[in-house]
Structure 1
Amino acid sequence: MNRNVLDTYDIRLLSALQQDDALSLQCLAELVSLSASQCSRRISRLKAKGYIHKQVTLLNPQAVGLDVEAFVTVSLDNHTPDSATHFKEAILKMPPVMECHAITGSDGDYLLKVVAKNQQALSFFLMEELMKITGVSQIKTALALSAIKSTTALPLSL
């Protein structure tokens, strides 16, 4: 199996795992029309080749008391390698930040996806933690009203 070359069975297997990683090998085998042992070998190979980054359990944020989701655009006051490194190191230590992306074509330098218990907790995080990172000059926050689509499954084609 070459890197970036997946056969039909690999794609079916990865698609099934993206939908439900808790499926037994027997169920996976039936879904992708392979034996359980073939599925097991393919999964091991896909992990070794880096196609499967990690396997996790996705939690329902509301069920665990995280009712607020926000998207925050962050601007830095200067754009040096040191300021970027300092910002990244600080963000990695902040549990409310679910995602952080360096962006272009926007008013900001980074786009964060943040979760919080409520608006008060979000406000505290923004003002007392995020804004206090040395080099942060501006933040803009958009609250998510509802999720129209939210998925972790990558669009794999057969």
Structure 2
Amino acid sequence: MSEKLVKIDRIDRRILECLQKDGGLSNQELAEKVGLSPSPCLRRVKALEEAGIILKRVTLLERKKLGLALTVVLLIGMDRHTPERFEEFERRVGELSEVQECYLITGQDADYMLKVAIPDMDAYHVFLLNKITRIPGVSGVHSSFVLRRVIDSTELPLEYC
């Protein structure tokens, strides 16, 4: 299933670039940065929201200052490849606050890849044994621990739009 592409112009692209860098900009600040008056700028932002391009605005937090120093990438194998098994797994991991990202993948000896934020190895051990391995169908888990974030961005490349 393919999403219908929405055409955006140079000004829309500039609005998106600015909002990706700082979603907390006021409409006045954003309008100044993109060279519009506030009313047309607000109309464009609303149109981008209605088109489903702007999904939501969030605040990014510094994980280490909140005691979440360990990031783990998990590759998870499932015992059966049935829609019911996958739906149950996805529902259960969706309930885990530690899971930041979950992807159904191919090209690995795994079915899912998760990115998890957690305080330390002890907390990860509890998370793995009491949460992940308790999900029906999980047949294998491979854990990799992030040593350093080389690139950690939420910004999408807009030069392709």
Q: CA deviation at 1:3?
A: 4.8
Amino acid at match of 1:97: V
Give the aligned partner of residue 58 of structure 2: 56
Q: CA deviation at 1:128?
A: 1.4
Amino acid at match of 1:86: E
Amino acid at match of 1:88: E
Which of 1, 5, 8 is residue 7 of structure 2 equivalent to?
5
For structure 2, the 5+ residue unaligned runs are none
Runs of 4+ in 1 over 3 A off after TM superposition: none
What whole-Å deviation, never above 9, does each CA across 1:89-140 have from its counterpart, x for those lacking one? 1111111111000000001000000010111101110111101111000000
Matched, 1:83 2:71: no
2:75 and 2:113 in contact (8 A); partners too: yes
Q: CA deviation at 1:27?
A: 1.6
For structure 1, the 5+ residue unaligned runs are none
Amino acid at match of 2:6: N
User: How far, CA to CA, are the matches of 1:118 and 1:24 in structure 2?
Assistant: 37
Give the aligned partner of residue 117 of structure 1: 119
Give the aligned partner of residue 131 of structure 1: 133
Give the aligned partner of residue 19 of structure 2: 17
1:115 and 1:122 in contact (8 A); partners too: no
User: How far, CA to CA, are the matches of 2:127 and 2:111 in structure 1?
Assistant: 19
User: How far, CA to CA, are the matches of 2:19 and 2:113 in structure 1?
Assistant: 28
Give the aligned partner of residue 107 of structure 1: 109
User: How far, CA to CA, are the matches of 2:95 and 2:145 in structure 1?
Assistant: 22
User: How far, CA to CA, are the matches of 1:4 and 1:105 in structure 2?
Assistant: 30
How many pairs align? 157
Amino acid at match of 2:152: S
Computed over aligned residues only, the root mean square deviation of the Cα atoms, in angstroms, reads 1.2
Using the aligned pairs only, state the percent identity.
38
After superposition, the Cα gap between the structure-2 partners of 1:3 and 1:79, relative to the gap in structure 1 and judged at 3 Å, is closer
Q: CA deviation at 1:28?
A: 1.0
User: How far, CA to CA, are the matches of 1:86 and 1:25 in structure 2?
Assistant: 42
2:6 and 2:51 in contact (8 A); partners too: no
